[in-house]
Structure 1
Amino acid sequence: MIILKDVEAMILELKDVTGGYSKTPVIHNIDFNIKEGEIVGLIGLNGAGKSTTIKHILGLLQPHSGRIEVLGKSITNIKDQARTHMTYIPESPILYEELTLREHIHMTAMAYGIDEQTIMKRADGLLDLFRLKKELDKFPTHFSKGMKQKVMLICAFVVQPELYIIDEPFLGLDPIGIESLINLMVEERSNNRSILMSTHILSTAERYCDRYIIIHDGRKIADGTIDDLREQTGLKNGTLDSVYLKLTGGDSHVS
């Protein structure tokens, strides 16, 4: 068991990571960290390298070079153990059609070694939050895409890990679902849990992310708070959208 002792513990560190799906790198020298109790936005266009970076963090891809650490330990050495400290919510919901919502929660409990009584107690508030309590014994075939996404969110948040990795969390959610998710993430941050979130919806990310990592053409081009990014771009009162466009060279209409 890894024990956090530092006041400001380092949850995740990528150190000069280069990698991809083949011998040709997709990401180059990616270097960033996530501290305890912060929400970090991973920003970039489609094909920028966000998903590749996330797959390396999850241990689904091995870096060509560099090092990834979870709670100070190399993910290469503790891959299975590292996974117990994080949960992943993909862009598109992945559910088992033959399992009910309740059974999905129970399966999550088994995967993370949590007893069913504890996990159902944790799930109770989440089921209320996402308005799915009446759907506990229904199968995913009866769920809309938004409902399926909420099932994924419930199964991730019942674990209460040190790190949540969320890929495009707002796709398929209605406005109430988006606001519920934002409130949930803010609550988890207050409990010293951390979130790495990939999103295209910059106006929403600007409301609650503590820091932003911007990837462009497979390389990190910025890492900091909104004020840091404004200083880097010279856009004193710029929005996240405008500083992003400035940093990536898409700023022909930005003053």
Structure 2
Amino acid sequence: MRRILEVQGLSGGYVPNKPVIRDINFHVDSGEIVGLIGLNGAGKSTTIKHVLGLMEPMTGSAKIAGKTFTEEPDEYRGCLTYIPETPILYEEMTLWEHLEMTALAYGLQEKTFLQRVRPLLEEFRMENKIKWFPSEFSKGMKQKVMILSALLVEPDLYVVDEPFVGLDPIGIQSFLDYMIRFRDNGAGILMSTHILSTAEKYCDRFLIMHNGQMVLRGTLKQLQEETGMSGAGLDDIYLYAAKGGKA
């Protein structure tokens, strides 16, 4: 097991000297799925933006393979892929062109691209839509384009923000199956989701945020021990944390 993502003493926000997140510390190792849990406004998206290199920390750092975005931006971003909550597509490009662009951006050889893309298209039932444009897609299909692009890359780190929005049950299961496969092959996955039953089933560890701070972290058993809630599920522990540690 190796350390893929290391976040240390991270504080940051959108206005100078007014941090949204404060002194955030966590890590993601190879071969694990880490669930990032919290209420709307808890600081999850801000944390993710710092991990992606879209925001510069006020203090602290986010490192992938020991490097910061500031030090080596191309290599840093080449180690990760991102699935956002809201699909971001180019209206003038077909599904196939989106996938080709992703392969080009990450330097995938054509042979590797073709080997990976066909099974993905079949798994997500998009093989007959490669010439479609975003205007022809439903919301769920647009999300599948983002997922296909991310899974195509096979990086060290996946950063996933509410990936299930708009997906049908089969699409959700296909996505989770791929996450398990890549985790078992050594990838690290940071996944933010409000679907706690899914998080509890598939995540190896949890990070619970509240009011811009990391208030709980660990396996489900460790969270149960820390809160004194023996046998509690993730949803009960989450509600406990969201209420400021009050039953």
Match of 2:126 in 1: 132
C-alpha offsets along residues 113-172 of structure 1, whole Å, 9 cap, x if unaligned?
A: 112332122011111110000111111111110011011000001000000001001110
1:251 Cα deviation (Å)? 7.5
- Determine whether 1:172 maps to 2:175: no
Does structure 2 conserve the Cα–Cα contact (< 8 Å) formed by 1:28 and 1:219? yes
- Determine whether 1:141 maps to 2:125: no
Q: Secondary structure at the match of 1:158?
A: helix
- Determine whether 1:234 maps to 2:234: no
CA–CA distance in 2 between the matches of 1:19 and 1:218? 10
The one of 7, 13, 18 aligned to 1:14: 7
1:198 Cα deviation (Å)? 0.5
The one of 171, 179, 184 aligned to 1:185: 179
Please list, as runs of the form range in 1=range in 2, the aligned pairs for 1:8-47 lying within 5 A after superposition: 8-23=1-16, 24-47=18-41
Does structure 2 conserve the Cα–Cα contact (< 8 Å) formed by 1:106 and 1:116? no
CA RMSD between the two structures:
1.2
1:191 Cα deviation (Å)? 0.7
Superposition TM-score, scaled by structure 2 size: 0.97
Q: For residues 250 and 220 of structure 1, do their structure 2 counterparts lie closer, same or farther at Cα, with a shift above 3 Å needed?
A: closer
C-alpha offsets along residues 191-215 of structure 1, whole Å, 9 cap, x if unaligned?
A: 1111100100101110010000111
1:75 Cα deviation (Å)? 2.7
**Equivalenced residues, count:** 246
Unaligned runs of 5+ in 2: none
Identity %: 53
Superposition TM-score, scaled by structure 1 size: 0.94
Does structure 2 conserve the Cα–Cα contact (< 8 Å) formed by 1:105 and 1:120? no
Match of 1:160 in 2: 154
Q: Which runs of 4+ in 1 moved over 6 A?
A: none
Does structure 2 conserve the Cα–Cα contact (< 8 Å) formed by 1:67 and 1:74? yes
1:250 Cα deviation (Å)? 6.7
Does structure 2 conserve the Cα–Cα contact (< 8 Å) formed by 1:85 and 1:162? yes
The one of 74, 91, 94 aligned to 2:88: 94
